[in-house]
């Protein structure tokens, strides 16, 4: 099973984990790293890389970042350079879909699923409901 | 050599996030391609292994679904997924 590490500014990663586990229950090989205002980049990178090592079994790991360009993304760059799949712009639809499909999907498949699910999960509910009526 | 079965959803909030996740996770354990179609709402068949596609199908209580599978374990897949729906995901309400 592919491991997942979620890294974000502040408590977002922890919050997303809390939220998604309300839907799918507690998950293995799933860790979060939250950057505090006074965290320096080197220690954030070290914490992240430790977390990735912890969740990476034989199937590897996926790093999900809140947004491209922030310190969490910068902290992930060394891993990305060495071939770890790092995806920026994580949302709950992406995370949910990954947790459901990762037991039966390869890392490569999950990377594609992540990108598609994140976009497909953005829906105008008002339009959907009023159109249906 | 595909197979399918129709079931009616009795779960009182339909396939909202948690049941949809349970359904998709079970579907993902089978190697066959599996689709679910909401016959009541007339939606296109969707990939049963994708929780987001199931949520987008807007499956509610009393909706009639067609579950179709195609592959070596298609019969087991249909049986397992149909049972999940008809036993209300093992929930008592």
Question: Which chain A residue has its CA at the smallest distance from B43's CA?
Answer: A132
Q: How many folded domains does chain A comprise? A: 1
Residue B16 among the catalytic residues: yes
Q: Provide the 10 A C-beta neighbour count for residue A111.
A: 17
pTM of the full structure: 0.90
Query: Would an 8 Å CB–CB cutoff place B52 in contact with chain A?
Result: yes
CATH (domain of A115): 3.40.50.510
Question: Which chain A residue has its CA at the smallest distance from B54's CA?
Answer: A97
In this prediction, residue B92 has a pLDDT band, given cuts at 50, 70 and 90, of low
Tell me the per-residue pLDDT of A23-71, one tens digit each, with 9 for 90 and over: 999 999 999 999 999 999 999 999 999 999 999 989 999 999 999 999 9
In this prediction, residue B17 has a pLDDT band, given cuts at 50, 70 and 90, of confident
Say what the ipTM of the complex is.
0.83
Most confident of A6-10, B38-42, B82-86: A6-10
Residues of B in Cβ contact (< 8 Å) with A23: 17-18, 21
pLDDT at B1: 58
Domain that holds residue A58: 3-132
Distance CA B77, CA A17 (A): 30
The one catalytic residue among B16, B21, B43, B58: B16
Query: Would an 8 Å CB–CB cutoff place A92 in contact with chain B?
Result: no
Tell me the per-residue pLDDT of A76-128, one tens digit each, with 9 for 90 and over: 999 999 999 999 999 999 999 999 999 889 999 999 999 999 999 999 989 88
Q: Are A16 and A92 in contact (CB under 8 A)?
A: yes
What structural domains and CATH numbers belong to chain B? 2-90 (3.30.1340.10)
Choose among B17, B21, B28: nearest Cβ to A103. Answer: B28
In the block, which residue shows the tokens 């090989």?
Answer: A29
């Amino acid at each position: 099973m592919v491991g997942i590490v979620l890294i974000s500014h502040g408590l977002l990663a922890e919050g997303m984990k809390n939220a998604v586990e309300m839907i799918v229950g507690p998950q293995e090989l799933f860790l979060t790293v939250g950057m505090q205002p006074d965290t320096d980049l080197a220690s954030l990178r070290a914490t992240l890389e430790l977390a990735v090592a912890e969740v990476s079994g034989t199937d590897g790991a996926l790093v999900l970042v809140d947004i491209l360009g922030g310190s969490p993304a910068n902290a992930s760059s060394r891993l990305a350079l060495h071939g770890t799949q790092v995806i920026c712009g994580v949302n709950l639809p992406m995370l949910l879909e990954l947790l459901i499909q990762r037991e039966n999907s390869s890392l490569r498949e999950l990377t594609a699923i992540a990108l598609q699910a994140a976009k497909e999960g953005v829906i105008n509910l008002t339009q959907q409901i009023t159109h249906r009526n | 050599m595909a197979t399918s079965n129709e079931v009616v959803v009795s779960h009182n909030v339909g396939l909202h996030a948690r049941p949809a996740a349970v359904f998709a996770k079970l579907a993902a354990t089978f190697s066959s391609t599996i689709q679910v179609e909401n016959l009541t709402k007339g939606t296109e068949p969707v990939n049963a292994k994708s929780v987001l596609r199931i949520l987008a199908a807007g499956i509610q209580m009393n909706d009639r679904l067609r579950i179709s599978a195609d592959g070596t374990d298609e019969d087991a897949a249909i049986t397992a997924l149909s049972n999940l729906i008809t036993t209300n995901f093992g929930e008592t309400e």
